[in-house]
Amino acid sequence: MTTSTPKRSPARAPSRPWRLSLSDPRVAGLFWQILVVGIAVAIVVWLWSNAVHNLSVRRISTGFAFLGREAGMPIADSWIDYTPKNTYLRAFIVGIVNTLRVAVIGIVLATVIGTLVGIARLSSNWLLARLAAVYVEVLRDLPLLLQLLFWYVLMQGLPAARQAFKPIEGIYLSNRGLILPSVPLHEANWWTILALVAGLVVLHLVRRRQIAQQMLDGRARSAWPYALGLVVVLPALVSWLMGASWNIMLPELRGFNFVGGLTLAPEYFALLIALVTYTSAFIAEIVRSGIQAVPRGQSEAAKALGLKRGFVLQHIVLPQALRVIIPPMTSQYLNLTKNSSLAVAVGYQDIVSIANTTLNQTGQAIESIALIMMVFLTISLGISLFMNWYNARIALVER
């Protein structure tokens, strides 16, 4: 891949003596490399020496020592304890959590909506297919920032808390954001959730073992008893033993604001809607082309075998489509994560917004921007690694 003229013959070429001339490809190669690297190093050194000079003139000390100082910046929307008395480091961690909060939930929602719209585009119902096409076309051809500002303006235009929209009991939509009912989680609840997750993991392992056994003797085994035991009985038992309460807390209007429930601030909600709708339009196109890339003969052959529609989709079409879908999907996930940095435009305090405030307060421009880049490079790398692993897992195994 990296060599444009690959060596064909396994026999080693006789080693010629080096000639000190640019017509010798080895000398030429060495020359060009030294030249290009030299220029790159020279530019970096020049920029760095300028920066050192400028920083000393402006009396800004370099380094990350400022992270230990008191931040003094208020953060309205935070999932972890934070007050302006905390350090910059803690503020940055809040920012990272806020970025991940929007990115992870956004990726999940965008995948679900995008897949639905992508399938809708292939629907035999003309109206549904057309509407899905319009959805994709409109959202893809408008800048994300414009959409974000648009949603944010709509949020601000919503009525005040007293006149909030109430589509269903317990859900309020007002200029304070979206307020949902919540379940207060105590220690007992967390243990129950842990039991549920553990049950799912064990169930997965059991199912794998069952399939391996079926491969050997051809007898199908039922997983239902295990599923019932591990996913329903076990968590229920833990919940009962620990005495967990699962009361749903409905938000209540007190004065000018709501008490209780889960609040999605307008900034967060607008950012989430914008990211999800925008990315879902791209994902819809990926899903559509992935499904279309599966030769029609595959589903026809499956139907000819008398397999049911759902089975055909799940076991014949989707596994083949996924191979086409996963690589471009990865780059959409990366895009969504990077685009979450637009939060700064509506004042949702993600990592970029907090770094920007820090930069304005302390003047530590290089460090702040380096931190943003480090965070995003790490997240990008994480998503890439996970998706590459998943891609390798579902890749076609040629026998």
Partner 1 sequence: MSSVAHLPQDPLPIGPRPAPRALGGHLTVWLRANLFASIPSSIMTLLLLFVLGKACIGLWQWGIANAVWIVSGNDTSACRALRGVGACWAVVPEKYRFILFGTYPFDEQWRPALAVLIFIALFAVSSRRSFWRKELFLLWAAALAVIGCLMWGGFLGLSFVTQDRWGGLPVTLILATFGLAFGFPLGILVALGRRSKLPAIRSLCVLYVELIRGVPLISLLFMASVMFPLFMPDGVNIDKLLRAQIAFILYAGAYLAEVVRGGLQAVPRGQYEAADALGLSYWEKHALIVLPQAIRHVIPPLVNTFIAFFKDTSLVLIIGIFDLLTTAKTAIVDPAWQSFSVEVYVFVGVIYFVFCFAMSRYSRSLEAQRGTN
What are the residues binding partner 1 (CB under 8 A)?
1-6, 29, 32-34, 36-37, 40, 47-48, 50-51, 53-55, 57, 124-128, 131, 137-138, 140-146, 149-150, 153-154, 157, 300, 338-339, 341-342, 344-345, 352, 356, 359, 365-366, 369, 372-373, 376-377, 380-381
Are the beta carbons of 132 and 114 closer than 8 angstroms? no
CB of residue 141 vs partner 1: minimum separation in angstroms?
Answer: 4
CB of residue 37 vs partner 1: minimum separation in angstroms?
Answer: 5
Are the beta carbons of 175 and 156 closer than 8 angstroms? yes
Nearest residue (CB) to partner 1, 51 versus 65: 51
Nearest residue (CB) to partner 1, 36 versus 237: 36
CB of residue 123 vs partner 1: minimum separation in angstroms?
Answer: 8
CB of residue 372 vs partner 1: minimum separation in angstroms?
Answer: 5
225: Cβ–Cβ under 8 A, 6 or more apart, which residues? none
For 371-375, which contacts have Cβ atoms below 8 Å and span 24 or more sequence positions? 371/92, 372/341, 375/96, 375/99, 375/351
CB of residue 80 vs partner 1: minimum separation in angstroms?
Answer: 23
Nearest residue (CB) to partner 1, 127 versus 216: 127
CB of residue 262 vs partner 1: minimum separation in angstroms?
Answer: 28
How many degrees, rounded to 5, is the angle at CA 224 between CA 223 and CA 226? 70
CB of residue 303 vs partner 1: minimum separation in angstroms?
Answer: 8
Nearest residue (CB) to partner 1, 317 versus 344: 344
- Going across the sheet that includes 262-264, the strands are 172-174, 177-180, 262-264
Nearest residue (CB) to partner 1, 8 versus 399: 8
**Alpha-carbon gap, residue 184 to 203, rounded angstroms:** 28
* Residues facing 263 on adjacent strands: 179
Residue 40, classed as helix, strand or coil, is helix
Nearest residue (CB) to partner 1, 154 versus 185: 154
Nearest residue (CB) to partner 1, 34 versus 201: 34
The number of beta carbons lying within 10 Å of the beta carbon of residue 166 is 13
Nearest residue (CB) to partner 1, 33 versus 214: 33
**Alpha-carbon gap, residue 261 to 244, rounded angstroms:** 18
312: Cβ–Cβ under 8 A, 6 or more apart, which residues? 299, 302, 303
Are the beta carbons of 105 and 272 closer than 8 angstroms? yes
Place of tokens 């897992």: 393
Considering only CA atoms, which of 56, 55, 93 is closest in space to residue 71?
93
Where b means 16+ CB within 10 Å and e means fewer, 57-74 reads: eeeeeeeeebbeeebebe
The number of beta carbons lying within 10 Å of the beta carbon of residue 13 is 7
CB of residue 64 vs partner 1: minimum separation in angstroms?
Answer: 16
CB of residue 226 vs partner 1: minimum separation in angstroms?
Answer: 33
What is the sign, positive or negative, of the torsion defined by CA atoms of 177, 178, 180, 186? negative
CB of residue 90 vs partner 1: minimum separation in angstroms?
Answer: 21
DSSP symbol at 317: I
Nearest residue (CB) to partner 1, 150 versus 226: 150
CB of residue 12 vs partner 1: minimum separation in angstroms?
Answer: 17
Are the beta carbons of 249 and 179 closer than 8 angstroms? no
Could you give the dihedral angle defined by the CA atoms of residues 45, 49, 52 and 57, in that order, rounded to the nearest 10 degrees? -160
Nearest residue (CB) to partner 1, 54 versus 213: 54
- CA separation, residue 208 to residues 86, 157, 203, 215, 227 (Å): 48, 52, 9, 11, 13
Nearest residue (CB) to partner 1, 147 versus 263: 147
